[in-house]
Structure 1
Amino acid sequence: MYLNAFINKDETWLLWAILVSIAALSIYLEQRYAFASKITGAIIALIGAMILSNLNIIPIESPVYDQVWNYVIPLAIPLLLFRSNIFKIWKESRRLLFIFLISSIGTVVGVAVAFLLLHQFIPELDKIGAMMTGSYIGGGVNFAALSTKFQTPGELVSATVVADNSVMAFYFIVLITLPNLKFIKKHFKRLHTENNQSEGNNAEAYWKRNEISLKDIAYSFAIAFSLVAISFKISETVNSVVPKSNPFMEILVSIIGDQFLLLTTLTLIIVAIFSRFFENLNASDELGTFLIYIFFVVIGVPASIPIIIKTAPLLFIFVAIILIFNLAITLSFGKLFKFNIEEILLASNANAGGPTTAAALAISKGWHSLVGPILIIGTLGYVIGNYVGTMMGYYLSQFM
């Protein structure tokens, strides 16, 4: 079925044109139509590529796809971390930070329980568990980094994304509905007594036209390229110089010499030192997010529909269990520590869907005072998601 695709694997420019165009089209649809916004641009991008590959129009293997994994994803990570000033997070949003970290624990517990129940039925679930831990603490950038780190097979990555985005669509509906339930109104504190729902598309509202200069683009790319180059060089040096004489040293080197963890750490340090510069640097969010959309196109390419039909139902259950535990633990401890329902739901949303969707939820519900803080807190997930996801991956692998 996949042999001799209409477009040859070495048609570099043509394949790049297709990848970038699908990413652009998915963003347009997400911001233009309400139904596409609910589906999310990520799954639209994935399905678009999956259709082309299953119709044998584009090849399932190509050096172009390798370039996305090897260059596009590493560049996206620092670009999306340029807003992650840990000092500002602690100073301005420590209340939301506390409930966000509790929600992160809910993700870890959910992954552990789901893995315990399903690891005998889903292949390489330790790798998927690592990816989903990072994704449900940070977002798509962590998912991309961890799927690369643990070398998860492309068809399983695609099936996981389908399950993730499908369940997330329902989860967002739950988050939007919960504040209006009588039980919630009775038992939880509320910051906002009125629901001032805004009209329009959430994605379009968040990604409104921004003032971006040529200098912003130049600085963003120059710094991102430099951080990737330095981090990957340090990783290469650590792995070649530090001996792996025993299992402990092997694990230690795999952590301290990990390309993506070094990249995350170095970016975080640079942003903290030069916080004022990065606060005034526009374009990095937009550039990084667009690169992630290209990633979603690529992971849709090798998706075999029969494999997804066979694997995805169990992955739906796996993802649903994680979200159930995340929300249950966030609500329980939020109630215990007397958090407002708005803070609780936004913290859970920022974990599961990242800062962008959390901000969109706040905007759509009229919780405007929480838009800025949840964006700051949500970006912290980019930072810690890789660390926690990596540790979960190594831990769960012992049971496979």
Structure 2
Amino acid sequence: MEQTLIGADDTWLLWAFLAGWAAISIYLEQKYAWASKVTGAIIALVGALILANLRVIPTDAPAYDAVWTYVIPLAIPLLLFQANLKKVLNESGRMLFIFLISATGTVVGAYIAFFLLKDAIPNLAIIGAMETGSYIGGGVNFAALSGKFNPPGELAASAIVADNLLMALYFFVLILMPTLAFFRKKFRTPYIDEREREGKRNENTASDYWKRNDISLKDIALASGSAFALVALSFKLAEWLDEIIPSGENASFILNLVNGLFGDGYLMLTTITVIAVTVFSRFFESIHGAQELGTYLIYIFFVVIGVPASIPLLINNAPLLVVFVGIIVLFNMLITFGVGRLFNFSLEEMIVASNANVGGPTTAAAFAIAKGWTKLIVPIMLVGTLGYIIGNYIGSMMYYVFMNM
């Protein structure tokens, strides 16, 4: 293992970095206009990437494993407390349509990329499934599907690097789009026009959105307790179903598919949480602070996914993965903006929908907050949380499609 300034066994130092850099990223996003435009998620990811490549922090450590094992499962239900399906369908129907169009772009891109590169990249069915899920719901889905398929270590690390690099590059493209005359001329831009009329073009709205909330000890207790209970119930139920539903070489395609869908802890977690939130909506909506707690945990995850991004590792082991992921992103973009223009969606709606697919609802909401597109924040957060569900399911199903291609 390569020598780094902070060793892999320096658990408390690494946790101090993970929690501290996540906090600094949020602080910068809310304090400075430039950081708000870049978004705290990208700051968290890129900062970790730079320090890992400068060998300040290790690219692999038990502290990182703990984030994947405990932090992500707890973050998922906390962020899904808003995912009342009735509310999503009633309040965000238009945004749901463009989000699903964007997700279709990801699936088409993944299928074409796999067809072109299946003979050149080993274990591409697994990586393709993970990237499909990742670019429909964000990095949380990558984590969930990585835990499900357990790809070889170096290939998984290279896939994370490719995923993160393309995600960061694409976010910069999305940031530039509203500033370019070509896109302003070809697409409707009502939210940008409104901001310019009000003279608020360069203001930082991240701090306004994440203003101090009325959060009590009871809220923290109910949010945390509910999240732990949902994780425990979901993982145990999935474990039980995994044992009773046949799978493996001797089982049929349908049984393997059913086992993969219902015997997976992350898929069960998202499903049970959404059912609980929809059925007991009054209880979950009464809990303040769940979004704040879940978002902070996701920022710790953004730091962690930047850590394994060793550029030399990617160049040496799997440069074609960048091409593979690039094709997926390209088709997501082409189909989102092509079909979106056909149905007269605004440029802002298409940007946040594509962002929610590639980076998840947290990054999309952060983007809308940073740009001051306040009317899009709640719809994209509601719709984007569905990406946690459908992304995991579609990624799992694409694995079986790829295995039979």
The 8 Å contact of residues 206 and 356 in structure 1, kept in 2 or not, is answered as no
What is the percent sequence identity of the aligned residues?
55
Shift of 1:81: 0.9
Query: Which residue pairs with 1:331 in the alignment?
Result: 337
The 8 Å contact of residues 162 and 312 in structure 1, kept in 2 or not, is answered as no
Larger mean Cα displacement after TM superposition, 90-99 or 236-245: 236-245
Taking a change above 3 Å as real, the CA distance of residues 286 and 9 of structure 1, as seen in their structure-2 partners, is same
Q: Distance in 2 between matches of 1:148 and 1:323?
A: 23
Q: Which amino acid aligns with 2:227?
A: A
Instruction: Tell whether 2:227 aligns with 1:227.
Output: no
Larger mean Cα displacement after TM superposition, 124-133 or 257-266: 124-133
Q: Distance in 1 between matches of 2:321 and 2:39?
A: 18
Q: Distance in 2 between matches of 1:366 and 1:34?
A: 11
Q: Which amino acid aligns with 2:2?
A: Y
* Root mean square deviation of aligned Cα: 3.1
Shift of 1:46: 4.0
Query: Which residue pairs with 2:304 in the alignment?
Result: 298
Query: Which residue pairs with 2:2 in the alignment?
Result: 2
Instruction: Tell whether 2:173 aligns with 1:171.
Output: yes
- Structure 2 SS opposite 1:2: coil
The 8 Å contact of residues 84 and 380 in structure 1, kept in 2 or not, is answered as yes
Taking a change above 3 Å as real, the CA distance of residues 16 and 330 of structure 1, as seen in their structure-2 partners, is closer
The 8 Å contact of residues 134 and 386 in structure 1, kept in 2 or not, is answered as yes
Q: Distance in 1 between matches of 2:122 and 2:207?
A: 38
Q: Distance in 2 between matches of 1:302 and 1:192?
A: 37
Which of 386, 390, 398 is 2:392 aligned to? 386
Q: Which amino acid aligns with 1:242?
A: I
- Structure 2 SS opposite 1:199: coil
Query: Which residue pairs with 1:217 in the alignment?
Result: 220
The 8 Å contact of residues 164 and 306 in structure 2, kept in 1 or not, is answered as no
Q: Distance in 2 between matches of 1:233 and 1:300?
A: 30
Query: Which residue pairs with 2:282 in the alignment?
Result: 276
Q: Distance in 1 between matches of 2:193 and 2:308?
A: 48
Larger mean Cα displacement after TM superposition, 345-354 or 103-112: 345-354
The 8 Å contact of residues 43 and 165 in structure 1, kept in 2 or not, is answered as no
The 8 Å contact of residues 39 and 370 in structure 2, kept in 1 or not, is answered as no
Taking a change above 3 Å as real, the CA distance of residues 282 and 133 of structure 1, as seen in their structure-2 partners, is farther
Instruction: Report matched runs for 1:230-245 at 5 Å.
Output: 230-244=233-247, 245=250
Instruction: Tell whether 2:152 aligns with 1:147.
Output: no
- Structure 2 SS opposite 1:136: helix
Taking a change above 3 Å as real, the CA distance of residues 321 and 201 of structure 1, as seen in their structure-2 partners, is farther
The 8 Å contact of residues 164 and 316 in structure 1, kept in 2 or not, is answered as yes
Q: Distance in 1 between matches of 2:192 and 2:60?
A: 51
Taking a change above 3 Å as real, the CA distance of residues 174 and 97 of structure 1, as seen in their structure-2 partners, is same
Taking a change above 3 Å as real, the CA distance of residues 182 and 203 of structure 1, as seen in their structure-2 partners, is closer
Shift of 1:26: 2.9
Larger mean Cα displacement after TM superposition, 39-48 or 285-294: 39-48
Compute the TM-score of the two structures, normalised by the length of structure 1: 0.85
Q: Deviations over 1:312-344 (max 9, x none)?
A: 864444344323322322333334434444434
Q: Which amino acid aligns with 1:348?
A: S
The 8 Å contact of residues 50 and 301 in structure 1, kept in 2 or not, is answered as yes
Shift of 1:195: 4.6
Q: Distance in 2 between matches of 1:280 and 1:180?
A: 45
Q: Which amino acid aligns with 1:271?
A: V
Q: Deviations over 1:74-126 (max 9, x none)?
A: 11111111111110111122222222212211121122223333344444433
Query: Which residue pairs with 1:85 in the alignment?
Result: 84
The 8 Å contact of residues 41 and 363 in structure 2, kept in 1 or not, is answered as no
Query: Which residue pairs with 1:246 in the alignment?
Result: 251
Taking a change above 3 Å as real, the CA distance of residues 304 and 326 of structure 1, as seen in their structure-2 partners, is closer
Larger mean Cα displacement after TM superposition, 382-391 or 222-231: 382-391
- Structure 2 SS opposite 1:24: helix
Instruction: Report matched runs for 1:72-151 at 5 Å.
Output: 72-151=71-150
Q: Which amino acid aligns with 1:225?
A: F
Q: Distance in 2 between matches of 1:62 and 1:34?
A: 34
The 8 Å contact of residues 79 and 288 in structure 1, kept in 2 or not, is answered as yes
Which of 320, 324, 343 is 1:318 aligned to? 324
Instruction: Tell whether 2:211 aligns with 1:208.
Output: yes
- Structure 1 SS opposite 2:92: helix
Q: Distance in 2 between matches of 1:362 and 1:285?
A: 16
The 8 Å contact of residues 89 and 377 in structure 1, kept in 2 or not, is answered as yes
- Structure 2 SS opposite 1:148: helix
- Structure 1 SS opposite 2:390: helix
Taking a change above 3 Å as real, the CA distance of residues 341 and 64 of structure 1, as seen in their structure-2 partners, is closer
Instruction: Tell whether 2:162 aligns with 1:156.
Output: no
Compute the TM-score of the two structures, normalised by the length of structure 2: 0.84
Instruction: Report matched runs for 1:49-64 at 5 Å.
Output: 49-50=48-49, 52-53=51-52, 58-64=57-63
Q: Distance in 2 between matches of 1:178 and 1:381?
A: 29
Shift of 1:350: 2.8
- Structure 2 SS opposite 1:137: helix
Q: Distance in 1 between matches of 2:27 and 2:284?
A: 28
Shift of 1:360: 4.5
Q: Which amino acid aligns with 2:211?
A: K
Aligned length: 396
The 8 Å contact of residues 102 and 329 in structure 1, kept in 2 or not, is answered as yes
Shift of 1:236: 1.6
Unaligned runs of 5+ in 1: none
Q: Which amino acid aligns with 1:227?
A: L
- Structure 2 SS opposite 1:176: helix
Taking a change above 3 Å as real, the CA distance of residues 100 and 151 of structure 1, as seen in their structure-2 partners, is same
